[in-house]
Every structure is written in C-alpha cells, then in structure tokens.
C-alpha cells in the first residue's frame, strides 16, 4: 500500500481504493479563489456597465474600483500562497508535476489515445488536459494580479505601488501624499504622461487576461461537470474532502 492510500472497500461488489489527494491548503485556495474571482468578475461588470446602470460621478466610480481592488488583494494573497505551496506541498500540488515539462507530449499522447480507445487513463491528481488548463489559469491569474496591482497604483494610487507612483509624478516641492486620483493638481505633466503609458498597457493586459480567464473557467466547469455525470468521477466532492475513490489503478500514484 502506498503512503497516500487510506482504505480499500467494496461498493456494489467493485473494489474501490480511497486516496488522500488534495491537502487542506490546496482546497482552501480553490474555494477562496472561486469566491474571489466570482466577486471580482461581478464588480468588474458593474465597472464596465456603470453608465447603463446609471452610476455617474467620480466618487462613485472610484468607490467601485476600491471594492474591486480590496477583493483583488484577497485574490492576490491567496494566489501567492498557492504558488508557494506548489514548492512544498504533496506530489499532486507541486508545480513540477503540473506545469508541462520534459516528457509531457508523450504523456498527453498516451492519455488522448486512451480516450480514443474509450478507456481513459485514471489520474489521482490532474490528468494531462487538466494540467494544461491549470497552467493556463494560473498564468492568466498571475497576469491579472500584476496588471491589476499596476492599474491600482497608476489609476487610484493604491498600495503596494501607489506610493511609488505619487512620489514619481509629484511636481517639485509638492507633498506626494497630497495628490488625489483623477486630479492633476500638483503633478508633473511629463511624468504623468509616462505613468499613463504604463497604466494603459496594464489596462489592456488586464482586460485580455480577464476575458481569456473567463473563457477557460467556463471550459473547466464544463469538463468537470461532464466528468461527474459521465464517469461519476467525484471531482467536486474531492475538492471538499480532499479524498478520491478509484477502482482502477491511477497513473500517478507513488509506490
Ligand atoms: C480574476 C481576477 C480578476 C478579474 C477577472 C478582473 C477583471 C477586471 C475587468 C474585466 C476589468 C475592466 C473593467 C472596466 O473596463 O471598467 C477590471 C478592472 C480593474 N481591475 Fe481587475 N480583475 C481581476 C483581478 C484584479 C486584481 C488582483 C486587481 C488588483 C488588486 C485588480 C484591479 C483592477 C483595477 C484597478 C481596475 C480598474 C480599471 C479601470 O477602470 O481603470 N483586478 N478588472
């Protein structure tokens, strides 16, 4: 029995083995991420359709951004903790086992072949397609984190980089702390133009990453639901309990 096999039992005369796969930090990350991303998308929609929603006035516009940014901090801290866990967690949490590297093409080919044959290989952690999806989602979320924090700093002077922005654009002899978002008073026009280039670039990256992420999240949900319905894989309950029950021997179990 391997270190992560917990129990073996019979259900409907089929032998199932139960494994502990997702550790608590991974499960916490997943559900905090779901809630924060949904919240961020919801507030982003309000920002995008504020005119249609009858939201006018600078104060209201800035207040909505502030809500999005505070939610963004929760999202960012959670994501950074998961990135660290990917270096210290169990084998299913490690980036070296998730991000495609040497030998991945052969693993993917073998998995796609098994699907074509109608006998999909069983994986305890992410299957090869799941590894691609997770890599894409984490990359896009990192892009959202970096571009979001850049936009928060250059647009409304929010931490952690807002202090550096106001120090840079403050005109000579002006206290940077006295600068206000969307108010040119006390700023150096040339330096403000430099910051605008960065702000516009961050805005472009942020929007492209947001819409691409939403598309991949939809795909991710469709694949998980399909696997639950067709293969009774128990993927969703495993993200709550951390445990998976399998009848076939998985490809990625350590002996
Ligand atoms: C899954 C994560 C995220 C998604 C899906 C998302 C989505 C979006 C979208 C669609 C917009 C455009 C709204 C518009 O055009 O008016 C936006 C704007 C913005 N986001 Fe995010 N965002 C995410 C994370 C973050 C993070 C982590 C931060 C920083 C803490 C952040 C800060 C901002 C800021 C400051 C804006 C304002 C842009 C502006 O109108 O000037 N976002 N976000």
Assess whether the C-beta atom of 153 lies below 6 angstroms from ligand 1.
Answer: no
Atom of ligand 1 nearest to the CA of 75: 27
Q: Which residues does the chain have with pLDDT short of 50?
A: 1-6, 8, 10-11, 255
What backbone torsions phi and psi does residue 5 show, to the nearest 5 degrees?
Answer: -85, 130
CA 3/CA 121 separation, integer angstroms: 21
Residue nearest to atom 31 of ligand 1 (CA): 148
The SS3 assignment for 91 reads coil
Ligand 1 geometric centre to CA of 62 (Å): 13
Buried/exposed 31-52: b ≥16 CB within 10 Å, e otherwise: ebbeebbebbeebbeeeeeeee
Return the ligand 1 atom nearest residue 41 CA: 5
In this structure, CATH architecture of domain 5-246: Up-down Bundle (1.20)
Kindly state if the Cβ of 82 falls inside 6 Å of ligand 1: no
**Contacts of 29 by beta carbon, 8 Å cutoff, 6+ apart:** 78, 79, 81, 82, 85
- Residue 84 corresponds to which tokens in the numbers above? 């660290």
Q: 3-class SS at 43?
A: helix
Residues 189 and 252: their CA atoms lie apart, in Å, by 58
At residue 44, the pLDDT reads 98
- Cβ–ligand 1 distance for 210 under 6 Å, the answer yes
Pocket test for ligand 1, best of 46, 47, 143, 216 (most atoms within 8 A of CB): 47
Q: Give the global pTM.
A: 0.91
Cβ atoms of 21 and 4 closer than 8 Å: yes
Q: Is the CB of 65 under 6 A from ligand 1?
A: yes
Q: What's the gap in Å between 190 CA and the centre of ligand 1?
A: 26
| Nearest-CA residue for atom 35 of ligand 1 | 152
The structural domains of the chain, with segments of one domain joined by +, span 5-246
Q: How far is the CA of 78 from the centre of ligand 1 (A)?
A: 16
Tell me the C-alpha to C-alpha distance, in Å, between residue 118 and each of 102, 113, 123, 251: 27, 9, 15, 16
pLDDT at 255: 44
Closest ligand 1 atom to Cα of 199: 41
CA nearest ligand 1 atom 18, residue? 44
Distance in angstroms (rounded) separating the CA atoms of residues 166 and 153: 9
């Amino acid at each position: 029995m391997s270190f992560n096999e917990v129990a073996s039992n019979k259900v409907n005369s089929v032998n199932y083995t139960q494994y502990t796969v997702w550790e608590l930090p991974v499960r916490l990350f997943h559900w905090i991420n779901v809630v924060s991303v949904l919240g961020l998308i919801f507030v982003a929609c309000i920002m995008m359709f504020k005119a249609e929603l009858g939201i006018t006035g600078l104060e209201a516009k800035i207040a909505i951004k502030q809500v999005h940014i505070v939610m963004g901090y929760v999202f960012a801290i959670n994501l950074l903790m998961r990135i660290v866990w990917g270096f210290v967690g169990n084998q299913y949490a490690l980036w070296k086992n998730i991000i495609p590297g040497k030998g991945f093409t052969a693993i993917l080919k073998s998995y796609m072949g098994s699907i074509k044959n109608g006998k999909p290989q069983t994986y305890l952690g992410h299957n090869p397609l799941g590894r691609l999806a997770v890599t894409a989602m984490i990359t896009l979320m990192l892009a959202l984190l970096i571009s979001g924090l850049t936009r928060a700093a250059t647009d409304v002077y929010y931490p952690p980089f807002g202090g550096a922005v106001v120090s840079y654009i403050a005109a000579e002899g002006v206290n940077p702390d006295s600068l206000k978002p969307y108010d040119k008073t006390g700023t150096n026009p040339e330096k403000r133009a430099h910051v605008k280039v960065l702000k516009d670039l961050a805005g472009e990256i942020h929007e492209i990453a947001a819409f691409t992420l939403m598309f991949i999240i939809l795909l991710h949900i469709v694949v998980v639901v399909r696997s639950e319905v067709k293969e009774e894989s128990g993927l969703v309950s495993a993200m709550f309990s951390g445990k998976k029950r399998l009848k076939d021997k998985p490809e990625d179990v350590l002996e």
